[in-house]
Structure 1
């Protein structure tokens, strides 16, 4: 075990080094461009067109006579998808059971960009082993509403946190010689009508909230590919959106890679060609079987070019972008190293992400950690305690080599030293209500045990073939509300009454309405979907072998009506359009500005130790830059990690601005009694807002507050500076 930990720590140290010192390798260099030009000159028009649309479910054509291979993609974003053939049938008896990493919300909850790099490295290595060229992840759409069925894949409500985590992830993947594909560009924030809904928002909201993560992915992470979204944006489909793709992505940001459509996201040949779509995937045109040459960017393009309606230079640009990615990832020029699959080191990364991502939400009376020597019996309650999740969620389905469930994790940790009884408590089935007999069995078990642990919350759609069945966290479906299904509230109220020493473990893609029983609970953990080692990680945290250090990457409202997307805006769309009337006031920006009390604040997460903040210093380092220093001390008796969060507030803004905005953070690991000086940098971006009228970023002169804290609602120190 110690050896494995050393291996993991070495990998994380390397990840930190690479993440901090390497720059994204440019897709463009003169020597490669010359080779690409030569190849394009040798290609026929038909060969070029074949390269810009799919030729099977997950591949696009190459040109064998010129040594250009097919481009092979695979879904992520937290594992390499189960193997498909040329069509959509799952291939039996192949080695596709790999590493099931925690989902995106758990990764973001680590607030550790070095783990983002390690996470991406696992994906890149395993994709390479499986013969993939592009891993379709990460997903970074902003968590706008608690109901979005795909929140589990996405990372945060905050664009700064997303930006920091996505860069590490992308570099981790691409340092393995595989392309990351950041998705879904842009404003894909609901699932139920994702294919048709038209998103309307202000330019300021777009620039300040919904685009920064994508910009960081391209300009800092160097993402080789970007996936367009299904939805419309201001009346035009996002994948073939002139403003989003041509003006912003390829124009302002200088993206030289490939804009890939989501599967079936292309709707018009001319708009796709002219507005930046480079590779069309998954279009289902006509009757089965699929005729790939009949895609929008198929043979019709040959006709258009030959008739003079479309210049061949437009097609050449798309082919050039694909070839750039192929050269960079050694698909053509050789040199691709072998990958590795489901290794011990990869499993250790899955465990580490889970350990750092699980969040201790409440710990009244210090019920946690439980002490092995003082516990003789545990009642484990809830179907989520024994239900695997790897093969759910829609396109993110993964065939895991194994998956440690929470119940198995407790058994692994405790062995035969503690008596563990299990009661199902509820039944996961669409429309299932509280079951009186199951609840009574759970109550009986809890009342007879020293402590009870209830595993509850959301569930994945389990079987891809019926992926909307029980799909409270899944592609293509949104949650009906924030209330736990299957009668879990009734179960919890009864169990908490039967045994006050009950630990509640929430599982799933994000916020849950827990108002019916939260005041009666002493200890609550957010366990997310924590991957193949999630059960072991949860057990270690419950019994104190790991000190929790996760922080919420999104606000947990007390009730759905408190969420700004529902209070001020719309969710889902109405008559085909969704208006983001909340503007920039997403998540904590709304809760803190409008003084709405959350259930748990953005950035919140408890520890088994305590941390002191002292000696806060703020020093200007330029007209629009500053350096912030603070000494963090572990004032408790247990080693642990604190996420130091830096927020900025303009005192007298000339335009409406949030009460505070996250602009820097650092995760610091400290032994008991240890102190460290943390330095955080603020550049001009930290003080700027987007001016809709000037169409530019503006950092006003004036007084700003710099706030350091443990969450957006737990501010430990404050200083001011004048720009």
Structure 2
């Protein structure tokens, strides 16, 4: 061990104390041994370090920091170098704010468009997500601090995320849901990994030996620190055995005692604890070196400009009928839409950044050279219908040559801790589009949201620019693209289906009670649409430009591909070229094509560039569940170069020698997977893929409620007090939503409704411990007075044991949104 001398001088209690937080954001310090606390902070797209009382709900304001575009936006850049550059700026700001570990990026897959946290994740494709994350991690860690890739793993829904059991077959797990983490860890060298809340095939991820030991430690050789998601520790000793170094936030020493007792009674070997302490010490000592010298303040304007550059390269032009864009000088432009007045520029939850600057669209218009004749709100952003707003918007539109319409999803629709109820744009915005089209057909819509939405009105638009959530400088970046100062080069990192019913996980999202079944297997996103031949609105990798590009001269070798791209238009621009690979053999089921490489080139009009995309260890591999390792099937492979997954420009085949592994599948038992039409797989076929019976997915309403049951389950609790409490929560949510307090209503769902009972102890910083929780469960299960006496007695014991000082940190009383 690297720090054996220090560890040998530590008491068992001191070693155990390091395994849990000191408070909400800091680790424990041991002054006599020179071990300092380190600070962990949210920061996927900007630092969220709170100056006042800490919470994980985004309630209390944080120190000002640059709000960069979210991961869902950055992914559209298809530029690994840009991601790394953005990471460098994030790392610099983290150093200034004395943050040792920046909690990001997030690389979970976009399994369903409705997943509430999609705005924080890169893509539906693991290769693209992994490469961009690796670049960002390298950038963050170039300043000596640590990034923290999250949430490991298969954390793809927000509803019941702290207790849901994800049922997924091993091949799909490896190829789809772990590949991005693998790239981020192997290529990005992330020093820290955050475990997810959910269970994976029957075991909490933080305690899952297969995930944490077999794959993360042994196969990937990860030697860094694993930290729980906040409140994500179920069994602390089981987590330690799986290799989890750090539980956050503090539990006021309660779980430290569990570790000590487990070592003393022989359940846990002290050597396991020592290994975890050694890795945590390495993180502490390596990340605090940068703070030995006083940090220089970062240049606010320079960082703001970088945020603008990232936004400009990530915004996607989806429609440009009659070349309505860029806007022609002298044209009268009417600006309509609530999002023009108050932009949607980031998501909601633990990643909320307090921006250093916030560009306003209406103010920026004055300097853009556009002939803006006025602004009208047009609609209420939270969906309330208002005919007067529509009438005023139409009156303005009649006077204009072009209508710039800013639409999208609001802050309470896309929020951590909650999944979206549907894939639609609010009805009042659709009605506005229809009304405007009646008076002026020249509509250019600017769409702001962090995930795919249905666009039934797209035929009534002549232009559509997707800004995603483009950060504090997004408003100006949008205008620069609209006016032609910047040529758009973003391409979609996710597919836009025509309707939600077309999506592969439609029948299996979200898991409502005990589990969620990933019956679609590896067929998510474009892998499903292309293989099953399902029409989409906009395909994966799609994006328009103000110029055109020609692909030619493809050459395929055993090492990779080379080809030529020529700018055949009249303006300079960048093109993101994509390498897809498909297997001609039908022996093992696969998607029709899979992304295996990409590159982005900038060209002046008439210029050409020779492009090389090398093959790597992931180009031809598949995971074989019989040999339990990556294999290559001997076959002809189709090498495709495309401008999107649906726009293949060049194609050639190559024969690849295989590894000779046995075919793991019986084709007769897996017809949906071999056809790719895997959006409605039967339970029998899914079990054939899994190799075992799927667990019961519904609650056993006859059993007493326990630690990992949720407040929502109090609806069938034995105790009348608990049932009354449940209906009070239900009514409060309904009432607050009804009167327009939607953010507060969401907070109830996030921090109360779906919270497991153990969260009362794990997330209150010592305000309640597990023995007190036992009393609460007695009350819930029908023993009101016995339970109440137990709670009071255990509370008295806890206060007495801490000499009346009681709580280490009582700054938060719940957790709905997490890092």
Q: Could you state the TM-score of these two structures normalised by the residue count of structure 2?
A: 0.78
1:100 equivalent to 2:55? Answer no
CA contact (8 A) 1:388 1:403 kept: no
- Equivalents in 2 of 1:49, 1:676: separation in Å? 58
The equivalences for 1:181-220 within 5 A come to 181-220=148-187
Do the aligned partners of residues 141 and 340 (structure 1) sit closer, same or farther apart at CA in structure 2, a change above 3 Å counting? farther
- Equivalents in 1 of 2:58, 2:589: separation in Å? 55
Moved more, 133-142 or 36-45: 36-45
Of 514, 533, 557, 2:455 maps to 514
- Equivalents in 2 of 1:555, 1:702: separation in Å? 29
1:359 equivalent to 2:359? Answer no
Do the aligned partners of residues 390 and 280 (structure 1) sit closer, same or farther apart at CA in structure 2, a change above 3 Å counting? farther
The equivalences for 1:547-562 within 5 A come to 547-562=487-502
Structure 1 position 69, deviation (Å)? 0.9
The equivalences for 1:338-487 within 5 A come to 338=295, 340-341=297-298, 343-371=300-328, 373-375=329-331, 377-389=332-344, 393-414=348-369, 418-429=371-382, 432-460=383-411, 471-485=412-426, 487=428
Structure 1 position 74, deviation (Å)? 0.4
Whichever of the two has the greater Rg, that structure is 2
Aligned equivalent of 1:287: none
State the 4+ residue runs in structure 1 displaced beyond 6 angstroms: 89-95
- Equivalents in 1 of 2:406, 2:58: separation in Å? 33
Structure 1 position 344, deviation (Å)? 2.6
Do the aligned partners of residues 53 and 114 (structure 1) sit closer, same or farther apart at CA in structure 2, a change above 3 Å counting? same
Secondary structure in 2 matching 1:276: coil
- Equivalents in 2 of 1:118, 1:349: separation in Å? 9
Structure 1 position 332, deviation (Å)? 5.7
Structure 1 position 696, deviation (Å)? 1.5
1:301 equivalent to 2:239? Answer no
Aligned equivalent of 1:144: 111
- Equivalents in 2 of 1:457, 1:612: separation in Å? 33
Aligned equivalent of 2:252: 292
Moved more, 445-454 or 583-592: 445-454
CA contact (8 A) 2:144 2:289 kept: no
Deviations 1:632-655 (A, max 9, x none): 000000000001111111112311
- Equivalents in 2 of 1:90, 1:367: separation in Å? 42
- Equivalents in 1 of 2:218, 2:395: separation in Å? 64
- Equivalents in 2 of 1:433, 1:96: separation in Å? 33
CA contact (8 A) 2:137 2:188 kept: yes
- Equivalents in 1 of 2:509, 2:487: separation in Å? 37
CA contact (8 A) 1:191 1:476 kept: yes
Structure 1 position 350, deviation (Å)? 0.6
Aligned equivalent of 1:491: 432
Structure 1 position 328, deviation (Å)? 2.6
Secondary structure in 2 matching 1:686: coil
Structure 1 position 303, deviation (Å)? 2.6
CA contact (8 A) 1:557 1:600 kept: yes
Aligned equivalent of 1:252: 219
Structure 1 position 244, deviation (Å)? 1.0
- Equivalents in 1 of 2:313, 2:484: separation in Å? 13
Aligned equivalent of 1:588: 526
- Equivalents in 1 of 2:57, 2:158: separation in Å? 24
Secondary structure in 2 matching 1:419: strand
CA contact (8 A) 1:684 1:699 kept: no
- Equivalents in 1 of 2:364, 2:116: separation in Å? 27
Deviations 1:278-311 (A, max 9, x none): 100036xxxxxxx5212x3x22222332344322
Aligned equivalent of 1:261: 228
CA contact (8 A) 1:628 1:681 kept: yes
Aligned equivalent of 1:659: 592
Structure 1 position 340, deviation (Å)? 4.0
Structure 1 position 92, deviation (Å)? 12
CA contact (8 A) 1:125 1:339 kept: no
Aligned equivalent of 2:540: 602
1:523 equivalent to 2:463? Answer yes
CA contact (8 A) 1:185 1:238 kept: yes
1:176 equivalent to 2:126? Answer no
The equivalences for 1:274-293 within 5 A come to 274-282=241-249, 292-293=252-253
Q: For structure 1, which runs of at least 5 residues remain unmatched after alignment?
A: 1-32, 284-290, 461-470, 621-625
Deviations 1:173-202 (A, max 9, x none): 000111000000000101122111110011
Secondary structure in 2 matching 1:685: coil
Deviations 1:68-105 (A, max 9, x none): 11021000100000414464399999992121100001
Structure 1 position 683, deviation (Å)? 3.0
Q: Could you state the TM-score of these two structures normalised by the residue count of structure 1?
A: 0.88
Deviations 1:391-444 (A, max 9, x none): 751000111011113333323423xx6234111111123xx3432221111111
Aligned equivalent of 1:83: 50
Do the aligned partners of residues 616 and 214 (structure 1) sit closer, same or farther apart at CA in structure 2, a change above 3 Å counting? same
Secondary structure in 2 matching 1:152: helix
- Equivalents in 2 of 1:62, 1:145: separation in Å? 42
Of 268, 286, 293, 1:310 maps to 268
Do the aligned partners of residues 134 and 336 (structure 1) sit closer, same or farther apart at CA in structure 2, a change above 3 Å counting? farther
- Equivalents in 1 of 2:10, 2:463: separation in Å? 65
CA contact (8 A) 1:513 1:558 kept: yes
Aligned equivalent of 2:474: 534
Do the aligned partners of residues 142 and 342 (structure 1) sit closer, same or farther apart at CA in structure 2, a change above 3 Å counting? farther
Aligned equivalent of 2:32: 65
- Equivalents in 1 of 2:323, 2:346: separation in Å? 36
- Equivalents in 2 of 1:512, 1:399: separation in Å? 27
Of 620, 627, 633, 1:694 maps to 627
- Equivalents in 1 of 2:543, 2:576: separation in Å? 9
Q: RMSD over aligned Cα, in angstroms?
A: 2.0
CA contact (8 A) 1:108 1:165 kept: yes
Structure 1 position 713, deviation (Å)? 0.4
- Equivalents in 1 of 2:61, 2:317: separation in Å? 39
Do the aligned partners of residues 483 and 55 (structure 1) sit closer, same or farther apart at CA in structure 2, a change above 3 Å counting? same
